[in-house]
Amino acid sequence: MKYLIILVSIVMTGCHTIHFDKGEPSESSVSYDRWHHNFAMDLYEGSAPVDPNELCGDKEWTSVKTELSLVNGLATNVGTMVLPLWYPKTASVSCK
């Protein structure tokens, strides 16, 4: 039974990625990754929105990526077994 629950959790985990690109990344690009937390079936934001201008400082941002990775999906599934409240995503900002 334990293996069935693990298998169903992995199969039910869907991954997706959204890109916002502004220019071409260079070899000297720096990437910042943050987990963004949503709650109650993704209806409420639990963490502040990711601000690329704040993360990059004096540098120009070239891309913002929001991703539901396998790790985020597994964390969501573990939380859903107890109570469906937490829905994390990974937000990445690239600066040049």
pLDDT along the chain (96 residues), means of 10: 74 74 80 90 87 91 89 76 78 92
Question: Rounded to an integer, what distance in angstroms lies between the CA atom of residue 66 and that of residue 79?
Answer: 20
Domain presence at residue 3: no
- 7 inside domain: no
The answer to whether position 8 is within a domain reads no
How many domains are contained in the chain? 1
pTM of the model: 0.72
Let me know if residue 1 belongs to a domain: no
8 A C-beta contact, residue 20 and residue 63: yes
What per-residue confidence (pLDDT) applies to 48? 92
**Does residue 5 form part of some domain?**
no
For residue 8 the two structure tokens come to 């169903």
The verdict on residue 20 lying in a domain is yes
Calpha distance 89→96 (Å, rounded): 23
C-alpha span between 93 and 49 (Å, rounded): 12
Please tell me the predicted confidence (pLDDT) of residue 8.
Answer: 72
In this predicted structure, what is the pLDDT of residue 86?
83
The residue segments making up the domain with residue 35 are: 16-95
